[in-house]
Amino acid sequence: MQSTGRDEYHTLLLGLESHSRIPDLSSDVIEEFLAHKPVAARWWTRLIAWESRLLWILSGASIVVSVFNYMLSFATLMFTGHLGALELAGASVASVGIQGLAYGIMLGMASAVQTVCGQAYGAKKYSSMGIICQRAIVLHLGAAILLSFLYWFSGSALKAMGQSEKIAEQGQIFARGIILQLYAFAISCPMQRFLQAQNIVNPLAFMSVGVFLLHILLTWLVVDVLDYGLIGAALTLSLSWWVLVILNALYIVFSPKCKETWCGFSIQAFQGIWPYFKLTVSSAVMLCLEIWYSQGLVLISGLLSNPTIALDSISICMNYLNWDMQFMLGLAAAASVRVSNELGAAHPSVAKFSVWVVNGTSILISILFSAVVLIFRVGLSKAFTSDSEVIAAVSNLTPLLAISVFLNGIQPILSGVAIGSGWQAVVAYVNLATYYIIGLPIGCVLGFKTSLGVAGIWWGMIIGVLLQTVTLIILTARTNWNAEVQNAIKRLQNSANEETSALDLTNTA
């Protein structure tokens, strides 16, 4: 250690010994402490407080961003629910079967930005981050062009999935109205991950809240006052997302906080794209398998007897589960940034410590959320519908919803750790086995071959998530964090070599 680092280290020891608050020290000092000195039990609370402070600085705003971005679609469905049960079923099935497909692909691809940009920021390789963001936007827009065909012909796709003609017709109206939102999402996902990797989260939170409030006003005006119905609600959702994209882009281009990481548009974004594409694919597969699992179970519920009631009830519960998921995804994003930053900075002990702190925090929060679900089981359904049959069906599903909410306190956080560490390919195999080989068949058997119906389908989801969570706990517990640091160094070296090669080609041309 240099003399300054040694002084900080002694300051830390004195702070711990005197039971005072840990000073605002660097991760280098905490890494030295955790790695080379046995930590006494009386010191753990202070170390946890240090990590929790960093975690909540990131996750507080990240949760706001995740929740309010999701609430744009959530609020739209609430307005459509009061248009009628058929409109709600159509919008819900389009949101799940069509928008959910794109949502999984875009978020999955964007997780590669979290991995590479997060580790690059930790290693202080700032100049490469803007190129990575631009490269991601190029790939996202390519995916959006392909997905546009699915959106436009969504009616046929929904019928092929077994939905009734009336529900599929309403779903197609909604899906065509949100095609523009698809392109906005393709640009916004990489930009938000780019900013989060630099610990720039508060501006994102203010933008998300402001756009959400504007969205509520516009949707009320378009749907309730002007009476433009389902297509009006969908187009308003698209408009709100484009407002968010414009605000994100203006901040990146003009904010002094991004002057080292954003150096303008570069041709390098189109060069050396194949190696990054491979990480993007594994990232997309990992998250798609997670997101499509719950979305697929909603679609399957439309094949039960009385599909409108089944779809409405499970869609309402899934919307609340997704709301909880967005909260946990905010924590997961913070965990991903903390882990990737510390691995990039060669701090394996701090990365490991951060993993356990964020998991403990999320479990406590999930216990609270599960209790809220059970206490307000009737009120949750009335926010969406006044239909007594749907309200009764939702109330019957809330105990299963509470179990899922608790599991959400662990699973997304471990997925965030996997993204920060670059384990996407391994987790993709885990998801395939636990969700689709085990959980989905069990849900279908319980839903269609027993009297459980929608509850049986949900039990299948719970079993799959439980098995996946247990597997990720084992993987995380057995991780060699020193080896993960070496993997991060190799990944950044490969990225730097690609950019150097691309720059040489440009200069030669």
Domain boundaries, the chain: 3-38, 48-508
Max mean pLDDT among 115-119, 175-179, 224-228 falls in 175-179
Provide the phi-psi class of 229: left if phi over 0, else alpha when psi is between -120 and 50, else beta: left
Q: Give the chain's mean pLDDT.
A: 79
**Which pLDDT belongs to residue 181?**
93
Higher pLDDT, 154 or 291: 154
Does residue 503 surpass a pLDDT of 50? no
Contact 384, 356 (CB under 8 A): no
Eight-class DSSP state of 347: -
% of residues, the chain, pLDDT over 90: 14
**Nearest-CA neighbor of 366 among 412, 316, 397?**
412
Q: What is the mean pLDDT of residues 157-180?
A: 86
**Which pLDDT belongs to residue 214?**
96
Does residue 464 surpass a pLDDT of 70? yes
**Nearest-CA neighbor of 144 among 74, 21, 47, 241?**
241
Indicate the pLDDT class of residue 509, thresholds 50, 70 and 90: very low
Q: What is the mean pLDDT of residues 422-428?
A: 72
Of 42-46, 71-75, 331-335, 492-496, the least confident? 492-496
pTM: 0.74
Show Cβ contacts of residue 320 under 8 Å, excluding neighbours closer than 6 positions: 373, 380, 401
Indicate the pLDDT class of residue 149, thresholds 50, 70 and 90: very high
For residue 426, how many C-alpha atoms fall within 13 Å in the half-sphere facing its CB?
14
Residue the block writes with tokens 């920060």: 420
Which residue type, as a one-letter code, is found at position 378?
V
- Per-residue burial over 290-323, b if 16 or more Cβ lie within 10 Å, else e, is bbbbbbbbbbbbbbbeebbbbbbbbbbbbbbbbb
Does residue 36 surpass a pLDDT of 70? no
**Which pLDDT belongs to residue 506?**
36
Indicate the pLDDT class of residue 187, thresholds 50, 70 and 90: very high
**Which pLDDT belongs to residue 504?**
44
The tens digit of pLDDT for each residue in 89-128 reads 888 788 877 887 787 788 778 877 877 787 788 777 887 8
Show Cβ contacts of residue 51 under 8 Å, excluding neighbours closer than 6 positions: 350, 353, 354, 357
Indicate the pLDDT class of residue 184, thresholds 50, 70 and 90: very high
